[in-house]
Amino acid sequence: MDFTKLADLAGGHAGARAIQVALRLGLFEALAHRPLEADALARAIGCDARAIALLANAMAALGLLAKNAGALSLTPASRRFLLAASPEYLGGMILFDEAIFPLWTRLEDAIRTGRPVRAPDMFQSRREETARFIRAMDSLVQARGDALWAAQNLDLSGIRTIADLGGGPGTYLLEFLRRYPALKGALLDLPATLEVAREILNERDPAIAARIELVEYDYRNRELPAGFDAIFLSNVIHSEDEPTNRALLQRCYRGLVRGGMVLIKDHIMNAELTEPAAGAVFSLYLLLTTAGRDYSFEEVARWLREAGFGAIDCQALPSPPFSSSVVTARKN
């Protein structure tokens, strides 16, 4: 690795923080309809003129604004990903990262103790935290295109009922049901998450939302409600420890019809747990907030085999932009 790469990595927090604050202040929205000079931009969003000029210069340097003879305007990237009206708005995820930024200052505590630095409650305790978390999941998946990829590339033909377990905002389920008009979907999740999911699904597509059953379900302590043809788990196992995941996959096995399929989408790591890089770094976020981490294909396949599954397979999504894979297995 050369100096520049290392320096960029080690100082990455400065750029991240600047983008988060620019977004929170409404800097990009203020430029949505016309270019402005820094003084006018500062007045529009109620900030100090000299400071906004510096922040705007930094955004221009990072490619998120263009600056011509002092006039600041959006770039294609900021128009696509940083305006709330865009279908690929990544702001939900960026504002979630902003809210949890203080947790990263406590990474040393977590490394010393091995324990999360906040209650590992999956952001269920306070309504505004749940909404920010669940909207962040939706924002990330919409901006990157995971759900569309999954609906176009995972073969769900012949499947009549699918459970999206820990389905969060329902972003995936919605695309599955769009792609397969006869498919019936159930979104199984905790009650606070379901409240947010209901809002998101109705905002986005009321007709599809009407085909989705929202089911209050805690996978830690209950059997699945019915015999599903398929169970989809996206970004669920990484928040749990190994015994919980073992038990969860055993529940999935019992919840499927014979021949039914489980699909696990997550960062699926190499045996050394070092690749994909995004997953190795994300495991530190999981250390801060949960009892989980990203797991290797060997680990996931072992739990599946122990539960009784066969035909275990793994497909990596194209990278970039993706860094995850889908493990599939069939109930024997």
Ligand X SMILES: C[S@@+](CC[C@H](N)C(=O)[O-])C[C@H]1O[C@@H](n2cnc3c(N)ncnc32)[C@H](O)[C@@H]1O
Member of 117, 141, 252, 262 binding ligand X (CB under 6 A): 141
Member of 235, 245, 289, 325 binding ligand X (CB under 6 A): 235
Member of 168, 185, 260, 279 binding ligand X (CB under 6 A): 168
In DSSP terms, which residues pair with 261 in a beta bridge? 230, 330
- How far apart CA 220 and CA 301 sit, in angstroms, is 20
Closest approach, Cβ 84 to ligand X, in A, equals: 19
Q: Using the rule CB under 6 A, is 190 a contact of ligand X? A: yes
Q: Using the rule CB under 6 A, is 189 a contact of ligand X? A: yes
Task: State the pairing for strand pair 184-189/161-165.
Answer: parallel
**179 and 156 in contact (C-beta within 8 Å)?**
yes
**Amino acid residing at 276:** P
Which of 167, 276 has the CB closer to ligand X?
A: 167
Which of 267, 331 has the CB closer to ligand X?
A: 267
Closest approach, Cβ 212 to ligand X, in A, equals: 14
Q: From the DSSP assignment, how many helices (H) and strands (E) are in the chain?
A: 17, 12
Which of 78, 323 has the CB closer to ligand X?
A: 323
**Amino acid residing at 226:** A
> What three-state secondary structure class fits 161?
strand
Q: Using the rule CB under 6 A, is 137 a contact of ligand X? A: yes
Which of the stretches 97-105, 155-163, 205-213, 216-224 binds ligand X when contact is defined by CB under 6 A? 216-224
Which residues neighbour 158 within 8 Å (Cβ) at sequence distance 6 or greater? 229
Contact pattern from residue 93 through residue 132 relative to ligand X, giving x for each residue in contact according to CB under 6 A and a dash for the rest: -----------------------------x----------
Which of the stretches 38-46, 70-78, 162-170, 318-326 binds ligand X when contact is defined by CB under 6 A? 162-170
Member of 81, 96, 149, 217 binding ligand X (CB under 6 A): 217
Member of 92, 116, 166, 260 binding ligand X (CB under 6 A): 166
- Token duo for residue 324: 């995850």
E-only strand ranges, the chain: 36-37, 65-68, 71-74, 161-165, 184-189, 212-216, 228-234, 256-266, 268-269, 295-296, 309-316, 325-331
Which of 81, 96 has the CB closer to ligand X?
A: 96
Closest approach, Cβ 255 to ligand X, in A, equals: 13
Which of the stretches 20-28, 57-65, 213-221, 311-319 binds ligand X when contact is defined by CB under 6 A? 213-221
Three-class HEC string of 224-252: CCCCEEEEEEECCHHHCCHHHHHHHHHHH
- How far apart CA 13 and CA 230 sit, in angstroms, is 40
Q: Using the rule CB under 6 A, is 234 a contact of ligand X? A: yes
**328 and 307 in contact (C-beta within 8 Å)?**
no
Which residues neighbour 155 within 8 Å (Cβ) at sequence distance 6 or greater? none
Residues lying near ligand X in the complex (CB under 6 A): 122, 137, 141, 166-168, 171, 189-190, 193, 217-220, 234-236
